[in-house]
Structure formats: C-alpha cells, structure tokens
Amino acid sequence: MAETSSSLKTGTVVVIAVALLAIAWIWLTGKPEPAKTGPPSPPPRPTRAQPRVPNPARGDVNGDGALDKADVEYLAEFLMGNGPEPIGDGDVNGDGSVDIKDVMYLRSHVFAGGPPPVPRR
Ligand SMILES: [Ca+2]
Ligand SMILES: [Ca+2]
C-alpha cells in the first residue's frame, strides 16, 4: 500500500512538472499580443487634381479636355472610393447627383455612341 501511495505521489509530481514545463514553454515562446489601436484606417483618398483645361466640359471628369474612356474609369474609381473627386462636372445625365447612373451614361456615350452629357443650364 505504501508503494502505491508513493507511485501516486510520483505520478502527481510528474504531471505538475510537465504542466509547469508547458507553461514555461508557452511563456518563453509566446508572442506578445499586438497593441489594439482600433480598426485600420482606410488609405487617404487622393486629392483632387488640377484641370489641364480651363472649365472642363460636363463629363470631362479628369479635366484633360477630352471625353473618353479615361473619364469613365475616373468616375467609376471615384464612386468606388478609390479615386479623387471629379474635376469636371460628373453629373453627366443632369439629374442633380453623381452616381453609378452617370458612369453608365458616360460609358454608353463613349463606347456605344449614346447621347452626349446633357448641356449645362
Ligand atoms: Ca477627360
Ligand atoms: Ca447624375
């Protein structure tokens, strides 16, 4: 009986020793938690560029004096939050707001011969 009690004590000591070694291993090799500073902030939006032509026409959103594929891409990038503000008037369909309908309208004009941007009032 004394031998069994001694075996139990030895087993308990071994379990505790293994647990302490595991804790020490985790403590020594564990990486510190990264400092929590809140969610990452989005990259800053590009600032509005200067027009290359004075008073760019409606739809010439990149202000280069031409109404082309680059304007469609520029307006789409702006609306997706990845590009700078339009330089020329981006309200191509004249409904009072700049949105995806203006991209579709401009795309239709540039690529499919659709109606030109509505004249300014
Ligand atoms: Ca342009
Ligand atoms: Ca519009």
Cα torsion 17, 21, 27, 28 to 10°: value is: 140
Dist. CA 92 → ligand 2 center (Å): 6
Dist. CA 16 → ligand 1 center (Å): 74
Of the bound ligands, which one is closest to the alpha carbon of residue 110? 1
Q: Which residues contact 72 (CB under 8 A, 6 or more apart)?
A: 103, 106, 107, 110, 111
Query: Which residues are close to ligand 2, an ion, with C-beta < 5 A?
Result: 91, 93, 95, 102
Across residues 6-30, what is the average pLDDT? 82
Which CATH code fits 52-121?
1.10.1330.10
- The CB density around residue 103, as the number of other CB atoms within 10 Å, is 24
Burial class of 49 by CB neighbour count within 10 A (0 to 12, 13 to 18, 19+) = middle
Dihedral pair phi/psi, residue 44, rounded to 5°: -65, 140
Q: List pLDDT tens digits, range 58-69.
A: 999 999 999 999
Query: Domain-by-domain residue ranges, the chain?
Result: 1-29, 52-121
Q: Which residues contact 39 (CB under 8 A, 6 or more apart)?
A: none
Query: Which residues are close to ligand 1, an ion, with C-beta < 5 A?
Result: 60, 62, 64, 66, 71
Q: Is the pTM of this model over 0.85?
A: no
Q: Across all residues in the chain, what is the average pLDDT?
A: 86
Distance CA 46, CA 65 (A): 21
Of the bound ligands, which one is closest to the alpha carbon of residue 69? 1
Q: List pLDDT tens digits, range 22-53.
A: 888 888 877 666 666 788 887 776 666 777 88
Residue whose pair of structure tokens reads 């191509």 in the numeric block: 92
What single-letter amino acid sits at 118?
A: V
Question: Whats the size of the chain, residue-wise?
Answer: 121
Of the bound ligands, which one is closest to the alpha carbon of residue 86? 1
